[in-house]
Amino acid sequence: MKKTITLTLFLAFVSALAGGILAYVNSITSPIIEEKKMAVLRESLQVIFPNTQTFTETTFVDSTGYIVTVYQAGTDGYAFRVKVQGYANPIEFLVGIKSDSTIGGFSVTAVNDTPGLGMKVKDDAFKNSIVGKSVDGPFDTIAGATVSSGAVVGGINAAVAVYKTLGQGGVPDTLKTNLLKIFPNTANFTETQFTDATGYIKKAYKADASGYVFSVSVQGFHANIDFLIGIKSDNTVAGYIVTAISDSSGYGMKVSEAAFINSVVGKSITGQFDIIAGATISSSAVVNGIEAAIGSYQALTSGGVSDTIKTSLQQIFPTVNNFSVVSFTDSTGYVKAAYKAGTSGYVFSIQVQGYRNRIEYLVGISPSNTIAGYKVTYVNDTPGRGMKVGETAFINSIIGKPMAGPFDTISGATISSRAVIKGIGSAVAVYQSVK
């Protein structure tokens, strides 16, 4: 009986150990595998838009269920990943729509249909009948393969419908209404690539020559506060609109009231923004978000990295004076920005979900493939537990290690420290794709 219990316990221990090893290996290798998949996807997207270097995944609404993913191709247009049911099997393809509302490209990525019939959707003759046409069509089906080609045409029409809801420059009409409150005389808003080491900036929009609008999300006292902040080309605040807030009435809610709005709008971006007495946490968070937007604005208008961001990056590479923004693709969503630190390496701005709240940090990787630096920029977790991800012991356990790890989790703070390690894994995957 004793031997049976001992054997059972031994087998349970071995199973748990094996499971832990597999989970750890998966946490390290998954981001790398995903990044390789994204590299293949990026090549496919560049077949559609050969002159575009950066593709940004974009939110969309599709009533048909055919559209899998939408990517904004800089200012050139949009690429749509589409999946429809052919005669024999599903057909997957990419279709690009240019900013002049014509079909810029068409590429079948997966098809297994009847040879000489449904397989013709992959032929140049069908492709040439689509590319160059107006989005208003009509698009011809293939005689003898009407089911499969008709399904593809249905998918293209679904992409066109989504394209029309995105609006010029990727701005949906509902969002444009708010943007016009900030810049009422602007005809066109264009979603723009930006740099932000804080993780607060979610989107940036160019308002023609008038300035920029930034979509910002910060952690208030009770919950996230989302807002739009506009900065004019004369370096003053054009407008401030809170779009989502759930805070204490008479306290945190004051960041959405007229007094605070009036204290922000019209100010120079070099000015000091006031904190609200009795709502210090929420108003400080909003001010931090405004300052992050100012940093991104300065980077956009100077064509490089703002002084605010540069100061943060120099905490990783203190002797570097020249940092440049790097375009990248990250399938995990953890990597928010990437910067080349001259010949010293790269710095990545990361945001992950800890046990209680998000954790934001910078991690640097040197050309020797070691971790050059790790700096937590925001954490609000359990004291003595999750907060340890920003403490010296954990920092020292990361810096100087090979970028492939292994990195140790913190006893008693497994969820938060593991999240940080996953973010480092994502940074490593991006680093391997851009170095």
pLDDT digits (tens, 9 = 90+) for 137-173: 889 898 988 898 999 999 999 998 888 777 544 566 6
3-state DSSP helix/strand/coil percent for the chain, to nearest 5?
40, 25, 35
Q: What angle do CA 76, 82, 83 make, to 5 degrees?
A: 170
Can you give the pTM of this predicted structure?
0.44
Question: What letters, b where the CB count within 10 A reaches 16 and e where it falls short, cover 50-62?
Answer: eebeebbebebeb
pLDDT tens-digit series, residues 111-138: 988 888 889 999 999 999 999 888 888 8
Residue 381 has pLDDT above 80, yes or no: yes
Q: Looking at residue 171, what is its pLDDT?
A: 62
**Across 96-111, average pLDDT:** 88
Q: At what angle do helices 414-434 and 2-48 cross, to 10 degrees?
A: 40
* Residue showing tokens 């090893």: 21
Per-residue confidence (pLDDT) for residue 136, from 0 to 100: 82
List the one residue out of 426, 274, 293 whose CA is nearest residue 363: 426
Q: Residue 137: helix, strand or coil by DSSP?
A: coil
Average pLDDT, the chain: 85
Burial class (CB in 10 A: 0-12, 13-18, 19+), 227: buried
List the domain boundaries for the chain: 1-48+314-435, 56-166, 175-301
Q: What's the confidence (pLDDT) of residue 121?
A: 92
Residue 26 pLDDT class (50, 70, 90 cuts): low
Can you give the pLDDT at residue 19?
A: 63
Read off the pLDDT of each residue in 103-115 and give the average, rounded to a whole number: 90
- Residues near 117 by beta carbon (within 8 Å), at least 6 away in sequence: 87, 144, 145, 148
Q: What is the pLDDT of residues 34-82, one digit of tens each?
A: 455 556 677 778 888 877 767 778 878 787 889 999 988 877 788 999 9
343 CB neighbour count, 10 Å cutoff: 8
Residue with tokens 């208003």: 136
How would residue 16 be classed by pLDDT, with cut points 50, 70 and 90?
A: low
Q: What is the pLDDT of residues 179-221, one digit of tens each?
A: 999 999 887 787 777 878 788 998 888 888 899 999 999 999 8
Question: Has residue 290 got a pLDDT over 90?
Answer: yes
Distance of CA 96 to the CA centre of its chain: 21
- Write down the pLDDT at residue 304: 60
Cβ pair 91, 116 in contact under 8 A: no
Q: Which pLDDT tens digit goes with each residue over 218-254?
A: 999 888 899 999 999 888 999 999 999 988 888 999 9
Question: Counting Cβ atoms within 10 Å, is residue 23 exposed (0-12), middle (13-18) or buried (19+)?
Answer: exposed
Average pLDDT of span 295-301: 83
Reported as a pLDDT band with limits 50, 70 and 90, residue 266 is very high
HEC string of 324-364 equals EECCCCCCCCCEEEEEEECCCCEEEEEEEECCCCEEEEEEE
Using 50, 70 and 90 to split pLDDT, how confident is the model at 29? low
- Tell me the C-alpha distance between 69 and 220, whole Å: 32
Interval 393-426: pLDDT, tens? 999 999 999 999 999 999 999 999 999 999 999 9
Q: What is the mean pLDDT of residues 313-341?
A: 86
pLDDT at 33: 47
Q: How many residues in total does the chain contain?
A: 435
Higher pLDDT, 12 or 271: 271
User: Is pLDDT at 7 greater than 80 in this prediction?
Assistant: no
Q: Answer whether residue 31 shows pLDDT above 60.
A: no
Dist CA 309 CA 292 (whole Å)? 9
